[in-house]
Every structure is written in C-alpha cells, then in structure tokens.
Amino acid sequence: MGLDTIVAWSGALLVILLLIYSILDIHNNYLSQDIGLLQTIREEGSKFRTDFDVINISYNSSSQLLEVYLKNTGSEIIYFQDYSISRAKCFDVFIDDSWISKDKMKFILLNDSFDALLWNPDEYLKLNISIALSSGEHTIAIVLCNGVKEMETFVA
C-alpha cells in the first residue's frame, strides 16, 4: 500500500467522521427539543387527571375561622410547591372574588399515611382560613397550582 492510498483513505475517513458528527449534532438538537415538548404534553395531560371537591365548609364566627374540607377526587398526586404544607404557595383562594393572603391560610393533610408533602388521590385536605365574614351567603373559589379550579357557595 502506497503513501497515496493511505492519504486517500485518511481523507475519506475524515469526511465520514465529519458527516456522522454533523448528523449526530442535528439529531441531538431535535431530540432535546422533542423531549422538552413531550414533557410539556405529559404535564398538560396531568391537568386532565387533576380534580378535587369541596366536601364541607363551616364557619365559626366567634373565632373567625373558616374550615374547608377538600378531597382529591382526581387520579393525580398534588405536590405542595414550596415543601411546606402550611403554606401551599401556589394554591389560590378567593372568597367573594377577593384574594386571600397566604398568611391567613393553613393547609392540613388529613388521613395522611406516609408522605406529608403529597396530597394523594382520595386523601382529604383541611384548609383553615382566618377571616371575618358577615352573616349570609358567600362564595369560595380554590385554584390549584396547575389552574384547576373549584367553587362552592356557603352560608356563614
């Protein structure tokens, strides 16, 4: 094998390597974007599996405490964003369309067996709200982190 053959084969090998690298680079770019999209689609699907119900609402006018019992009726586990059950940061609560400040609310997971940070399907969540309400009919709206909303009317 002459020197010219070695040079020719080396050249061909270099070209093939460059081609493979280019293809892999393009594919990697597309793959990473596809994975990002798939993750978005998967997380969007979780919204359809998320559901909850307001089971009971009671108001104690002397202590100005509103107790709301919620049940996870969906098939999705609901995570508490800031890892603190007492301050579920991305849960929004409105009473008569008015925003309830986070420091007036406390979330307590009931019948929780082992994972204190997760609101599992069929588990109950108690929401205590310190608020002064006039006697009569009021509306409470609760919005979860992913935008799933539940509204209920109650009498104080």
Task: Provide the binding-site residues for other proteins, judged by CB under 8 A.
Answer: 29, 33, 36-37, 40, 43, 47, 81, 89-90, 92, 94, 97-99, 101-103, 141, 143, 145-147, 149
Strands (E), the chain: 52-60, 65-72, 78-79, 92-95, 98-99, 105-109, 118-119, 124-130, 137-143, 149-155
Closest CB to other proteins among 40 and 56? 40
Closest CB to other proteins among 53 and 122? 53
Q: Report in angstroms the alpha-carbon separations of 43 from 39, 78, 143.
A: 6, 12, 17
**Residue 135 CB, nearest distance to other proteins (Å)?**
21
What values do phi and psi take at 6, rounded to 5?
Answer: -60, -45
Closest CB to other proteins among 4 and 103? 103
CA angle 150, 151, 156 (to 5 degrees): 140
Both tokens of 51, joined, read 């559901």
**Residue 3 CB, nearest distance to other proteins (Å)?**
22
Place of tokens 């509306």: 139
Looking at residue 145, what DSSP letter applies?
A: T
**Residue 149 CB, nearest distance to other proteins (Å)?**
6
Closest CB to other proteins among 6 and 26? 26
Give the length of the chain.
Answer: 156
- The neighbouring-strand residues paired with 119 are 78
Closest CB to other proteins among 56 and 81? 81
**Residue 62 CB, nearest distance to other proteins (Å)?**
27
**Residue 96 CB, nearest distance to other proteins (Å)?**
8
